[in-house]
Structure 1
Amino acid sequence: MIQPVAVIGAGPFGLSTAAHLRARGIPVRVFGDPMVSWRDHMPAGMILKSTPAASNLDCPQRGHTLADYCDAAGIRRLVTDEDIIPVETFIAYGEWFQQKLVPELEQVRVVSVDRGKSAGFELKLDSGELFTARAVVVATGLSGLAHLPAELAKAAADGPTPTGPVSHSSQHHDLTRFSGKELIVIGAGQSALETAALAAEAGAQVRVVSRGHGKVAFGAPPWNQPKLCPVSPFGRAWSLWALSYYPHPYRYLPAQVRHYLVRRVLGPLGAWWLRDRFEGKVQVEEVGAVVGADASDGSPVLTVRTHAGGTTRLSADHIIAATGYRVNIAAMDFLGHGLRTQLTVSRGAAKLGAGYVSSVPGLYFTGLPAAASYGPVMRFVCGTEFASPRLAKHLVAAHG
């Protein structure tokens, strides 16, 4: 009996990879709740920052783009750069893609992955089933990677929680619970600014605290993009075009450069359509740094260092840290300890070779966990266009 390939994760990268493997006739078992991060860990009313052209899940078959889904669902086609994509529409698109191309998805959790006794990998599911896979693709997306700065740890002694003094932006789906409350949102990226705008629209009094050199800013609308630069999924710029379509050499850059670019390229910047919903509705506090936070009486107080060098304290009913995600192999506790110790890592992320394979033959990473090796494009859905066919081709060549 031919051992299958196991794909762990049923978000855009997991579904796209599985579609490519199935199209090549490779037996695949895919595990996860389809689009769960988008459905449960993004705020209701959110709109995607990416354009329709940058929001397609890649597959070898024609007829499975976002526009194709709109046609099938009988809704207005989303095709131009000026069209905005409600998160609910994108979730429905991902679920439609899954039903069409990955129908045997198993909605169970992978408990552990270890090297097999002879070859391949041994997997245990929360159903109790044990089986062997010839290769494993980790496509777990943002799961378990939410980053809370150390400065907030004192106010979140038991970790960030939606009902405690401090939470992470990924822990909120319904922001109406903050109606009538004073809310601090830390960050200056799209997640922070959109969370703040949605909370303000829900009746909260919101203040955004941006740190360091991060200033609250918004991108240019499509009609104001430079005309002499090539088009990329992220806008018109030669650097964005290269990072989008030619990430091949990225893994050869020095580690410091690779990690810096992943953090900063397309970093803290609000979408052009968010400006009108934000300005005049949300207070902004630009500070040098967050020094610390405490919640001795149950309500959080944030201590910040001003750009002038002094310190001040900001109080609120709740703090939301929209402080992004950090890839850390140690947080992927479904990977057995022995397997994790065999992985070559760089600042917590697995170092990947050609075809997204790790230093452990047969173990692949795609999506956000691959960004440190293949660049910022792996943080976005459009990265499936580059990653999925190359991963599938390498896996087939290496494992038949």
Structure 2
Amino acid sequence: MNQPVAVIGAGPFGLSTAAHLRARAVPVRVFGDPMVSWRDHMPAGMLLKSTPAASDIDCPQRGHTLADYCTEAGIRRLVTDEDIVPVETFIAYGEWFQQQLVPELERVRVVSVDRRTGGGFELKLDSGEQFTARAVVVATGLSGLSHLPRELAAAAPDGPAATAPVSHSSQHHDLTRFAGRELIVVGAGQSALETAVLAAEAGARVRVVARGRGRVAFGAPPWDQPRLRPRSPFGRAWSLWALSYYPHPYRYLPAGIRHHLVRRVLGPLGAWWLRERFAGKVRVSEVARIVRAEATGEGTALTVRTHAGRTERLTADHVIAATGYRVNIAAMDFLGHELRTALAVSRGAPRLGAGYVSSVPGLYFTGLPAAASYGPVMRFVCGTEFASPRLARHLQAAHG
């Protein structure tokens, strides 16, 4: 069968999947701009929360780890848990990985994917080309999945935007634009806390608003991790070790438990190295909830309910929602309507079986959309180690 497999997306999961398929001699076409989400939708100056060992993009060939890239590029090797990875280094590593292992990457956009009556899928590219693929792997990362809570949406009726009263953290690469301005960052996770720090260091006056059970907290440094528990990419704990290396049974858990664990495990927590930069530089308001957001003549106002039951009003020139991402098949509009309606979903995420295949034979999902089926490790680059070889093996067996 000469029809190729189409891999949509050229971030860590797409590149890793393509590398595994190529190693199995599976004809593959890969589409996308390499590392685009990391390059365009992460703030300049960001440092990765993950350790160097947890930042390797998996492939079957030796010699393509982050440390290998550092050696070849002539920069300081990043190998210990105390080493911190600049986002610029990680982006360059991903681009090097692509050049080495996925050199035939096509920098075009997939406009639509539809099932063919006789089997396989019909794809249209923004170059005007149409072709048939035997299988499709969706590895589009965070694209189109940014989440804006309902209570903030009222202040941005046309959607979050850098020029609107409310934006999403993914819409800011350069935070120097907030120098001298009042800024509110909503959230308590690493994205919120690091965005706040980078904006404050750029000259903004910043307040973090943490909602509900969220509170501003930071992880323990590597030297304070408990030594009698197994090591995982995320710290020393039995639960993290199991979720990292043995996510096989995760998809058999009840749906409510699976979705809860995806949200709460490795939930809102700042990196250990961020604490010192945060303390004394950023104000914090921990509130029970945000009641509403509204645009004012001078900026944006949040009405909040405190844990003590009081109502307060917080104002700023702009509000950034560092409120994460939500998988929603409906947002993947490059998938044809008939294809989307045929997919079995659970709270917006595709329900995946063995080998990351969806309920539509030949259609696979990896990365964040797979987290509801395979656990929180799929939110992180180190998830490529589990996902990519299994997906490639299943696809080859089913469609080889």
| Superposition TM-score tier, normalisation by shorter sequence | over 0.9
Q: Distance in 2 between matches of 1:275 and 1:134?
A: 49
Once residues 256 and 279 of structure 2 are traced to their aligned partners in structure 1, the CA distance between those partners, rounded to angstroms, is 35
- Contact kept in structure 2, 1:12 and 1:381, CA below 8 Å: yes
Offset, 1:22 = 0.2
Q: Residue 15 of structure 1 aligns to which amino acid in structure 2?
A: L
Give the distance between the partners of 1:154 and 1:296, measured in 2 at CA. Answer: 12
Mapping of residues 267-346 of structure 1, within 5 Å: 267-297=267-297, 299-346=299-346
Q: How does 1:235-274 map to 2 (within 5 A)?
A: 235-274=235-274
Secondary structure of the residue aligned to 1:25 is: coil
Separation of aligned partners in 1, 2:167 and 2:271 = 23
* 3-state secondary structure, aligned to 2:155: helix
Contact 1:301 1:314 in 2 (8 A): yes
CA distance in 2, matches of 1:279, 1:320: 20
Q: Is the contact made by 1:165 and 1:298 (CA closer than 8 Å) also made in structure 2?
A: no
**Residues 1:128 and 2:128 aligned together:** yes
Tell me the number of residue pairs that the alignment of Structure 1 and Structure 2 aligns: 400
Q: In structure 2, list runs of 5 or more residues that go unmatched.
A: none
**Separation in structure 1 between the aligned mates of residue 347 and residue 245 of structure 2, nearest angstrom:** 25
Correspondence for 1:97: 97
Any conservation in 2 of the 1:57–1:385 contact (CA below 8 Å)? yes
Offset at 1:154?
A: 1.2
Query: TM-score by structure 2 length?
Result: 0.99
Query: What are the Cα deviations for residues 260-309 of structure 1, in whole angstroms up to 9, with x where unaligned?
Result: 00001000000000000001100000000011100042511001101011
Amino acid at match of 1:325: Y
Q: In the aligned structure 2, how far is the partner of 1:300 from the partner of 1:255?
A: 37
State the alpha-carbon separation in 2 of the partners of residues 216 and 391 from structure 1.
37
Q: Deviations over 1:177-234 (max 9, x none)?
A: 0000000000000000000000000000000000001110000000000000000000
The equivalent residue for 1:59 is 59
**1:92-132 Cα shifts (integer Å, max 9, x gaps):** 00000000000000000000000013110000000110000
Q: Which runs of 5+ in 1 are unaligned?
A: none
Q: How many percent identity over aligned positions?
A: 84
Structure-2 residue corresponding to 1:8? 8
How far does the alpha carbon of each residue in 1:79-103 deviate from its partner, in whole angstroms, 9 at most, with x for none?
0000000000000000000000000
SS of 2:185's equivalent in the other structure is strand
Q: Give a deviation string over 1:19-71, Cα, whole Å, max 9, x none.
A: 00000001100000000000000000000000000000000000000000000
Distance 2:24 2:290 in 1: 51
Take 2:121 and 2:303, find their aligned partners in 1: how far apart are those partners? Answer: 48
The 5 Å alignment of 1:1-400 reads 2-297=2-297, 299-400=299-400
Read off the aligned partner of 1:139 and give its amino acid letter. Answer: A
Code of the aligned partner of 2:213: H
Q: Cα deviation per residue 1:324-344 (whole Å; 9 max; x = unaligned)?
A: 000000000000000001100
Amino acid at match of 1:57: I
Structure 1 length-normalised TM: 0.99
Between 240-249 and 114-123, report the one with greater CA deviation.
114-123
In structure 2, what is the Cα distance between the partners aligned to 1:311 and 1:348? 33
**SS at 2:184's partner residue?**
strand
In structure 2, how many angstroms separate the alpha carbons of the residues matched to 1:125 and 1:56?
30
Distance 1:37 1:90 in 2: 12
The runs of 4+ residues in structure 1 deviating greater than 2 Å are none
Amino acid at match of 2:276: D
Letter in 2 for 1:3: Q
Q: 1:157: how far off? A: 1.1
- Partner SS for 1:301: strand
Aligned-pair distance for 1:153? 1.3
Find the residue that maps to 1:203 and give its secondary structure. coil
Residue aligned with 2:299, SS = coil
